[in-house]
Structure 1
Amino acid sequence: MSQTKTNARKCAVQALYQWQMSGESLNRIEAYFLEDEMLKGAQKSYFHDIFHGVPKQLDVIDAVLAEFVDRPVEKIDPVERAILRIGVYELINRLETPYRVIINEGVNLAKCYGAEGSHKYINGILDKVSQKKRATEIQAKRGAKKS
């Protein structure tokens, strides 16, 4: 797991939270992160991909989440919602990243930024999404373990 990608995800959670709460333009928020050197130690291209990718695919991401969450997506705590959206985005679009890494990163983000115990909720939802979106990868992993 790359620390620069982890840092990119941390910045993406903060930036998406800011976007969700303020409605400010993505470019303006990204410029703020660049100007204040908040992306120091982060893979900037990964941050950019996630931060711009989630809003572009918001309808698809939220439709996936709606299948597995216990309330309307908009009623999920804004920090947890940002973390879940990043996780779903990566599960759908970043196929080079193993699903377990994406789940673990989501859990760690929740432990860092979410409410107490929110990591359990994040883990459960991303695990269910993985079962659907990464079924082939999961089956291959299980088959490799049996050999």
Structure 2
Amino acid sequence: MSEPASPGQPAMRHANKRGAARLAAVQALYQMDVAGSGVFEITAEYEAFRLGKEVDGALYREADAQWFRAILAGVVENQKTIDPIIRQALTEDWPLSRLDSTLRAILRAGVYELMKREDVPVAVIVSEYVDIAKAFYEEDEPKLVNAVLDRVSRRVRGEGRGKDAS
């Protein structure tokens, strides 16, 4: 369902709010990793000062705050399960520790959704996180995100591009 449009702005669809929540969750996970901030502190900061707000002249898109909280809390709560799943999907020459914090945040959020949000289609999750990777990287990282999330989707949901047709 769309929200009424503000003058001069198109209505924001529910899916766009979820996409904005995913991006904000990746940014928050990055901030937690780099600064060592806690989930409650980061959640409060983003909800009070970032989601749908102007920060340093840049306007953050309005986001689904509940979706944002669910991803953030879900990654933190399930990280001991998520990280080994990512490690299994990476090649031996690319250990998880070799990935930068942004890429780890993208993969952790995507794997969380694949594991716990069965109401969201695999294609939507993979596409959203590949798009987030493209916002941060221009080289091979979006392809890596696509490959890892595809492998994980086959493992945790039995779905993905490489699934055998039986």
TM-score range, shorter chain: 0.7 to 0.9
Please report the RMSD computed on the Cα atoms of aligned residues, expressed in angstroms: 2.0
Q: 1:57 aligns with which of 51, 74, 78?
A: 78
Q: 2:46 aligns with which of 33, 38, 60?
A: 33
Q: Percent identity?
A: 36
What's the secondary structure of 1:34's corresponding residue? helix
> How far apart are 1:24 and its partner, in Å?
1.0
| Unpaired runs of at least 5, structure 1 | none
| Residue aligning to 2:3 | none
Contact 1:13–1:83, Cα closer than 8 Å, also in 2: yes
> How far apart are 1:46 and its partner, in Å?
0.4
TM value normalised by structure 2? 0.78
Q: Which has the higher contact order (CA 8 A, sep 6+)?
A: 1
- 1:106-117 superposed matches below 5 A: 106-114=129-137, 116-117=139-140
Contact 1:8–1:47, Cα closer than 8 Å, also in 2: yes
Higher Rg of the two aligned structures: 2
Output the CA distance in 2 between the equivalents of 1:114 and 1:32. 26
What's the secondary structure of 1:42's corresponding residue? coil
| Unpaired runs of at least 5, structure 2 | 1-13, 53-61
Output the CA distance in 1 between the equivalents of 2:164 and 2:18. 26
| Residue aligning to 1:17 | 30
In proportion to residue count, which structure has more helix? Answer: 1
What's the secondary structure of 1:2's corresponding residue? helix
Cα displacement string for residues 68-126 of structure 1 (whole angstroms, at most 9, x for unaligned residues) = 11322122111111000011000000000000111001100000123533111100111
Residue 123 in structure 1 maps to residue 149 in structure 2? no
Counterpart AA for 1:127: D
Alignment size in residue pairs: 140
Q: 1:99 aligns with which of 122, 130, 142?
A: 122
Contact 2:25–2:71, Cα closer than 8 Å, also in 1: yes
Contact 1:88–1:129, Cα closer than 8 Å, also in 2: yes
Counterpart AA for 1:42: A
| Residue aligning to 2:55 | none
TM value normalised by structure 1? 0.88
